[in-house]
Amino acid sequence: MRTAIPLRLKSGLLSLLVLFLLVGIWHIATLPTKSTAASLTPDQIEYAKLMGKDPEQMMAPVKSAFPTPSDMGATIVEQLAHPFYDNGPNDKGIGIQLAHSLQRVGLGFGLAALVAIPLGFVIGMSPLVYRVLDPFIQLLKPISPLAWMPIALYTIKDASLSGIFVIFICSIWPMLINTAFGVAGVRRDLLNVARTLEVSPLRKAFEVILPAAAPTILTGMRISMGIAWLVIVAAEMLVGGTGIGYFVWNEWNNLSLTNVIFAILMIGLVGMALDQIFAKAQKAVTYAD
């Protein structure tokens, strides 16, 4: 009797296979290429010697300018061996850079949640408030968060606080819209039961509306966190100082492509971890009808 392979194990094995395939393609693409000087004639070789050049070195295979998988492996080991070193303003470990970015994201995201969720409740429960505020939401929502950076730098006059403000601006809209949508979409029969039992408005909000709207609210928070983590990298490239975005820009200026790729990998891994945290929270509050 054949035993069925669990779906999670099967998907994990296929993901590893795709990873090995991509690394293999990367390895082949960065193999040393044959030098254009490999076909030098004897006269050209003699001329190269007269010019003080080494013909053997000229005819050696040309190493790819793009980092190889082995180069990346060495960089990953080197960076993760000492992630929290601090040798000055422009030389900090990847752990310190990520900590600064996560701190900015956490503060901006937390402030956005404090504003968006209560305001979303009010909008979702009041059609009048929705009609009053909707034009302003639709006007401000499409504006790129980075467009606010010059105004933030001018008014706040602090690069780190300006980054937090940009995270606040980009995080507030998905949470606000999803909270309002989730509150407005609470089943009428639940509200009718609360009205019949003469439940107080505060108790109705926390014990009836919030549990019913929680999955939608967490969806908005999940989207907001993804946008916030995306925007902080670009914001830190502009303001400099510390953070994973500044690390990417600084390593590019140092012409260290391996460190740039390593930072991109870390950005993706941290972003995936943050998304999984909200995915699990969303699953925990979702219930079947």
The CATH number fitting domain 94-285, selected from 3.40.640.10, 2.60.40.1260, 1.10.3300.10, 1.10.3720.10:
1.10.3720.10
Task: Quote the tokens at residue 34.
Answer: 């044959």
pLDDT mean across residues, the chain? 84
Q: Mark out the alpha helices in 51-126 (DSSP H runs).
A: 55-58, 69-81, 94-125
Q: What pLDDT is recorded for position 35?
A: 54
Residue range 62-88: mean pLDDT, rounded: 85
Q: Of the candidates 273, 271, 220, 276, which has an alpha carbon nearest to the alpha carbon of residue 245?
A: 271
Give per-residue pLDDT as tens, 199-212: 777 777 777 888 88
For residue 102, pLDDT beyond 90? yes
Using CA atoms in the order 57, 59, 62, 63, what is the torsion angle rounded to 10 degrees?
A: -50
* CB atoms near residue 178 (< 10 Å): 25
- Name the DSSP class of 54: -
Residue type, 35: S
For residue 245, pLDDT beyond 60? yes
Give per-residue pLDDT as tens, 108-133: 999 999 999 999 999 998 889 989 99
What is the C-alpha separation between 73 and 12, in angstroms, rounded?
22
Strand partners, 33: 62
The sign of the torsion formed by the CA atoms of 223, 226, 228, 231 equals negative
Q: What pLDDT is recorded for position 48?
A: 58
Q: What pLDDT is recorded for position 285?
A: 84
Task: Quote the tokens at residue 175.
Answer: 């949470």
For the chain, the structural domain boundaries read: 94-285
